Structure 1
Amino acid sequence: MRTFDFPALAERLLPSVLTAGAAQMRLYESGTAVEEKADSSPVTAADREAEAILLDGLWTAARGIPVVAEESMSLGVAPPRGTTFFLVDPLDGTREFVERRGEFTINVGLVVGKTPVFGLIYAPVLGALYVTLGKGKAVEAYIPPGRTDVSLSDCPLRELKTRTPNIDALTVLESRSHRTTQIEAFLADYSIAEVKRAGSSLKFCLIARGDADFYVRLGPTREWDTASGQAILEAAGGCVTTLAGHPLVYGNGEDSYYNPNFIAWGRTPIAPRRQ
């Protein structure tokens, strides 16, 4: 099995991630047309331009490893199957981008043997970078919006650690765009003291920072939406499970890389009050 130097991989990927982020910022500020894909999800020039930059960067940084990328997949361009592959969402949170809420991200995740082991997430408007540097180690850094000339070694890094939940006063994260009555019913079985809302893969990062205890998603997502966030969260001390409590696994190409419903936990899964 191929081994990876995650800090070196992060350094090699960062230039293309920042360049993709700068391209997105240009279109974010000037405006761009919104189209609809076959699955009725929105897509813009920012999605496509960023993906092209990222694919070039991955070819240089990790040549020979297949890349499953959202916009390429939507056009029917799928790589050969393998147990080691990258998952790329060039613009996670297109609705946040279009509605100018700023909470969109670039996601790059590496899967080895059905498990996401490396994740890099960058939020261009916020300048927030989150990355896995090894087993049990994930960090965050601030890189000013639009900068493309920064290396990871230039940045002060803060290690990410999840928090111990207070099961009598939990903080839960909800999506800004995907709140449902089913999620409200699920949360009714927990003692929720605070609900925070965020877009895109930032929800995984906020739990990894210790800002919340869990996030439940009941509805369609794809593996490129979650792989990078899961890798970062698990390196910070959390886990991501199906509703049945099994680890969320990857490589389901037969089902177009759809995920089952899942929960991202800050530590281990928390039992509901009603069994």
Structure 2
Amino acid sequence: MYKEVISIAVKAGQEILEIYNAYANGSAEAAAIQTKGDLSPLTKADLASHHLISEQLAVLTPDIPVVSEEDTASDIYRKPIGRFWLVDPLDGTKEFIACNGEFTVNIALIEDAKPIWGVVYAPVLDRLYCGGRGLGATLQVGADLKKLEVSPSPQLGGFWRVVASKSHMNPETQAFIDRLGEVDLVQAGSSLKLCRIAEDAADIYPRLGPTCEWDTAAAQAVVEGAGGVVHDLQGQPLQYGKPDVLNPSFIVAARICLVELDNRDD
């Protein structure tokens, strides 16, 4: 089943890429942007990816409901017990609009409030991450496939490699980063921020600001498959199917990073 879901993610990415290229080349139709109720942007690419994924998952697994960011009615299936697909058809719409290529397709399988498997595909970068706890994690770039593992030795060279959001840096996150001392900042957009931890390109990603469940689920599964953790500020893994779709503030890291941070004096 997972192989077929990966194929669906890639097809959605190809749909997005066609619209993205037209948008970058000045197509008025591709450039049409709507504003959702929460004031976030919505593009033609968001909707094209949503329809493709929702329709194909419904055929592949008719017994597993699909919850998509772009279908508010589907939220009734987002429950703490049972299974559902959790989809962000285009994570990083602001990155899409900025034409920086750092947006992704996210599909996660949730079971009893946990993301048991996920795929994150960045079509412009042609980077495909997938995995889950106990299943391992991989990154495919073109024809090259490699196993992912979080860093066993954080603070390489004496510096924390810290992932910082391109769009959502706030005072709370900056204060957290300042506590770490001298750092090497790793910039990334969308759920690629979590994936940087999984592929040992960074040590820690603090997110002390709002996100939704569909923003994190697939990448959390990849991080956990690579041996890392995604937990709230009380040390608990992020949960899904909550009454409120918003996540609490969280930290993504290798376990060893968290031990060292917990033992650090304020």
Normalised to the residue count of structure 1, the TM-score between the two structures is 0.87
Which stretch of the first structure deviates more once superposed, 184-193 or 197-206? Answer: 184-193
**Match in the other structure for 1:158:** 146
After superposition, residues 1-275 of structure 1 pair within 5 angstroms as 9-31=1-23, 32-73=31-72, 76-80=73-77, 81=79, 82-132=81-131, 135-143=134-142, 155-163=143-151, 164-166=153-155, 168-252=158-242, 254-255=243-244, 257-268=245-256, 269=258, 270-271=261-262, 273-275=264-266
How many residue pairs get aligned? The number is 252
The Cα shift of 1:272 comes to 6.3
The Cα shift of 1:136 comes to 4.4
Cα distance in 2, alignment partners of residues 37 and 272 from structure 1: 43
Distance 1:23 1:228, change over 3 A: same
The AA in structure 2 aligned to 1:234 is E
The Cα shift of 1:119 comes to 0.7
The Cα shift of 1:77 comes to 3.8
Are the equivalent residues in 2 in contact too, given 1:190–1:272 (CA < 8 A)? no
The Cα shift of 1:219 comes to 1.4
Are the equivalent residues in 2 in contact too, given 1:86–1:110 (CA < 8 A)? yes
The AA in structure 2 aligned to 1:46 is A
Are the equivalent residues in 2 in contact too, given 1:118–1:133 (CA < 8 A)? yes
Cα distance in 1, alignment partners of residues 6 and 225 from structure 2: 19
The Cα shift of 1:267 comes to 2.6
Which stretch of the first structure deviates more once superposed, 213-222 or 128-137? Answer: 128-137
**Match in the other structure for 1:146:** none
Structure 2 residues not aligned, in runs of 5+: 24-30
How many percent of aligned residue pairs carry the same amino acid? 38
Cα distance in 2, alignment partners of residues 267 and 57 from structure 1: 36
Cα distance in 1, alignment partners of residues 228 and 181 from structure 2: 19
Distance 1:173 1:272, change over 3 A: farther
Cα distance in 2, alignment partners of residues 173 and 206 from structure 1: 8
The Cα shift of 1:134 comes to 6.4
Are the equivalent residues in 2 in contact too, given 1:170–1:213 (CA < 8 A)? yes
CA RMSD of aligned residues (A): 1.7
Distance 1:221 1:11, change over 3 A: same
The AA in structure 2 aligned to 1:182 is E
The Cα shift of 1:86 comes to 1.1
**Match in the other structure for 1:148:** none
Q: Deviations over 1:204-230 (max 9, x none)?
A: 111101010011111111100000000
The Cα shift of 1:132 comes to 1.0
Cα distance in 2, alignment partners of residues 204 and 192 from structure 1: 21
Structure 1 residues not aligned, in runs of 5+: 1-8, 144-154
Normalised to the residue count of structure 2, the TM-score between the two structures is 0.90
**Match in the other structure for 1:6:** none
Cα distance in 2, alignment partners of residues 223 and 128 from structure 1: 22
Cα distance in 2, alignment partners of residues 98 and 248 from structure 1: 29
Are the equivalent residues in 1 in contact too, given 2:116–2:132 (CA < 8 A)? no
